[in-house]
Amino acid sequence: AESLDMEKAEFTLDSVRDSLIRQEDTIVFCLIERAKYPLNSPAYNQSYVSFPGFSGSSLFEYIVKQTETLQATAGRYENPEEHAFFPDNLPRSLVPPYNYSQVLHPAANSININKMIWDMYCSQLLPLFVAEGDDGNYASTASSDIDCLQALSRRIHYGKFVAEVKFRDAPHDYEPAIRAKDRDALMKLLTFEKVEEMVRRRVEKKAMVFGQEVNLDNDNSKGMYKVDPSVVSRLYVEWVMPLTKLVQVEYLLRRLD
Ligand SMILES: O=C(O)C(=O)C[C@]1(C(=O)O)C=C[C@@H](O)C=C1
């Protein structure tokens, strides 16, 4: 019971937001690492290669599926913060169960918007922050892509925890909108425009600080950044925050089931 209380004490809107802030660092660093390589389009092309048992998969999809299979056996998806991109037919975890704190409503398990995250990343985001070209580093590129996708997915699905804490803080505000299945009302209740503006400005600054050229003479990167800071702020404004809010709405709609 004591440890339960401790978990409860740490589960506040501030603690949840602290996690989102730390995850910004991860996302910016992952983008910087991916930007080391050019687009390398053959990695995403379904006709470039064919692996036995993976018909119709690109090299990238093949690596993601194989990675998820391996990580599922190692217990990655037992953590309620993790979501697979190809959750169907994943093998069971082979590691002893860890007692993750169960703060979410069980309906949380049915929410996985990784398909949207995948499409957004591959077709819209990638071309915005990597150079055109092909240097043949397809497998390394795919590893960097997985890191980006997993970091984005974790952040966006963290909306489940944000929504849970908001619901617990003000159940009477949320219940009528949940019962009425009123998405717009829920969206209004969970939106804090001032916070979003701070997030936008902070991730832009992180892209400048983390992505600057560091040298001993004159530590001024002269406006040259490894990933364009305005692209990072756009990523957050157009995709990361709206999708995090979508997850919150989806979660709240099921919160009284
Ligand atoms: O911090 C919150 O309250 C959140 O819900 C997270 C978040 C975000 O995605 O960063 C989303 C919605 C709010 O309008 C503000 C920020």
Q: What is the pLDDT of residues 126-157, one digit of tens each?
A: 999 999 999 999 999 999 999 999 999 999 99
Going from the Cα of 160 to the center of ligand 1, the distance in angstroms, rounded, reads: 11
Q: How confident is the model at residue 219 (pLDDT cuts 50, 70, 90)?
A: low
Residue nearest to atom 16 of ligand 1 (CA): 196
| Calpha distance 207→204 (Å, rounded) | 5
| Calpha distance 178→112 (Å, rounded) | 20
Over residues 96-120, mean pLDDT: 97
pLDDT at 37: 98
Contact 88, 106 (CB under 8 A): no
pLDDT at 164: 98
Contact 154, 82 (CB under 8 A): yes
Position 12 pLDDT exceeds 70: yes
Share of the chain above pLDDT 90, in %: 87
Going from the Cα of 7 to the center of ligand 1, the distance in angstroms, rounded, reads: 22
Q: What is the mean pLDDT of the chain?
A: 94
Over residues 47-57, mean pLDDT: 87
pLDDT at 38: 98
Position 115 pLDDT exceeds 70: yes
pLDDT at 116: 98
- With the most atoms of ligand 1 within 8 angstroms of its CB, the residue from 154, 160, 186, 241 to mutate is 241
Q: Work out which ligand 1 atom sits closest to the CA atom of 241.
A: 9
Number of other CB atoms surrounding residue 199 within 10 Å: 21
Nearest 5°: phi and psi at 221?
Answer: -85, 5
Q: How confident is the model at residue 112 (pLDDT cuts 50, 70, 90)?
A: very high
Q: How confident is the model at residue 2 (pLDDT cuts 50, 70, 90)?
A: very low
pLDDT at 1: 39
Q: How confident is the model at residue 177 (pLDDT cuts 50, 70, 90)?
A: very high
SS3 257: coil
Nearest 5°: phi and psi at 234?
Answer: -65, -40
Going from the Cα of 58 to the center of ligand 1, the distance in angstroms, rounded, reads: 34
Contact 107, 254 (CB under 8 A): yes
